[in-house]
């Protein structure tokens, strides 16, 4: 898996919406109860129960969204003693939850620092150019639509699941799909793990195309053992949604600047321009 760190594709205006989304995700993450468990990898039972209750309240849960089956019992965030020892207490929900709204709120929840920072890195690198091409308002609508498409797509594929779905990955996958359509020849600096992290400058079509193929491979159940904890199907649906939405914008999109210097395996040809 390659790690993108920078793209050679300057923007004409400040991507305020991209920055605002990154800040919002970080603020929500730091405000999440029991988040110490995500920072250290372990925590007290009380913290775990608090986090579980918060997640079930605000996350997307497929059987709630598709089957409109709200649970009779949910975590309360408190610790109790059961027949098998200490555990999280379950009780009737004391709140009204909108399953449709939970698709939106789930976009701003993350389960760990790795989950959060990985998503924000991709949004920071690729989101600014899509916002620059679409404009601030249209980009925000595009981001939300891709997130909803990813959420509903994932839920439809596993409508009976009671597992919470969280993360901005589906919406950001839509950004990647749009970038592949609009800027396939843009150069992206990536780190490739090969004994050490080897920096390379690769075309966006190769970086994002490889990412999409990997997500599709894992979503088909062919990935590693931990694939079940990652919503790869949501990534695939979000990517395809972003790709299709961006297609009409392709004819009027100016190409990225031709990079100078050494590329992968060859030198770039000099590019001449005049007034």
Q: How far apart are CA 201 and CA 96, in angstroms?
A: 50
Residue at token pair 């990412």: 211
What local confidence, expressed as pLDDT, does residue 223 receive? 41
Q: Within 10 A of 98 (CB to CB), how many other CB atoms are there?
A: 11
Tally of helices (H runs) and strands (E runs) in the chain:
10, 5
pLDDT value of residue 262: 47
**Distances, alpha carbon 195 to alpha carbons 191, 192, 200, in Å:** 11, 9, 14
With beta carbons less than 8 A apart as the criterion, state whether 32 and 51 touch: yes
Question: Which tokens sit at 55?
Answer: 């997640």
**pTM to 2 decimal places:** 0.87
pLDDT at residue 89 in the model = 87
- The torsion region of residue 265 among left (phi > 0), alpha (psi -120 to 50) and beta comes to left
Query: Which letter does DSSP use for residue 109 in this model?
Result: -
Regions of the chain where pLDDT drops below 70: 36-43, 84, 222-229, 259-275
Residue 18 pLDDT: 98
CATH architecture of 3-33+97-249: Up-down Bundle (1.20)
pLDDT for 21 equals 98
- Select from 42, 49, 34 the least CA-distant residue to 89: 49
Q: What is the pLDDT of residue 37?
A: 56
């Amino acid at each position: 898996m390659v790690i993108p760190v920078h793209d050679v594709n300057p923007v004409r205006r400040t991507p305020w919406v991209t920055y605002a989304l990154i800040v919002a995700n970080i603020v929500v993450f730091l405000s999440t109860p029991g988040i110490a468990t995500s920072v250290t990898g372990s925590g007290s039972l009380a913290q775990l129960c608090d986090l579980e209750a918060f997640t079930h309240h605000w996350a997307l849960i497929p059987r709630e969204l598709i089957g409109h089956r709200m649970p009779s019992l949910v975590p309360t965030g408190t610790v109790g003693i059961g027949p098998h020892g200490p555990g999280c207490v379950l009780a009737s929900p004391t709140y009204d939850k909108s399953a449709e709204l939970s698709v939106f709120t789930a976009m701003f929840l993350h389960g760990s620092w790795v989950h959060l920072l990985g998503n924000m890195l991709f949004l920071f690198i690729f989101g600014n150019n899509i916002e620059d091409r679409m404009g601030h308002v249209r980009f925000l609508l595009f981001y939300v639509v891709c997130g909803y498409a990813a959420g509903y797509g994932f839920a439809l594929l596993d409508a009976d699941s009671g597992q919470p779905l969280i993360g901005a990955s589906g919406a950001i996958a839509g950004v990647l799909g749009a970038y592949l359509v609009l800027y396939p020849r843009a150069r992206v600096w990536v780190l490739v793990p090969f004994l050490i992290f080897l920096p390379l400058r690769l075309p966006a079509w190769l970086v994002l195309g490889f990412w999409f193929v990997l997500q599709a491979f894992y979503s088909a159940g062919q990935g590693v053992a931990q694939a079940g904890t990652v919503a790869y199907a949501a990534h695939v649906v979000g990517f395809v949604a972003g790709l299709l939405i961006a297609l009409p914008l392709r004819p009027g999109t100016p190409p990225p600047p031709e990079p100078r210097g050494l590329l992968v395996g060859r030198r770039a040809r000099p590019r001449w321009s005049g007034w």
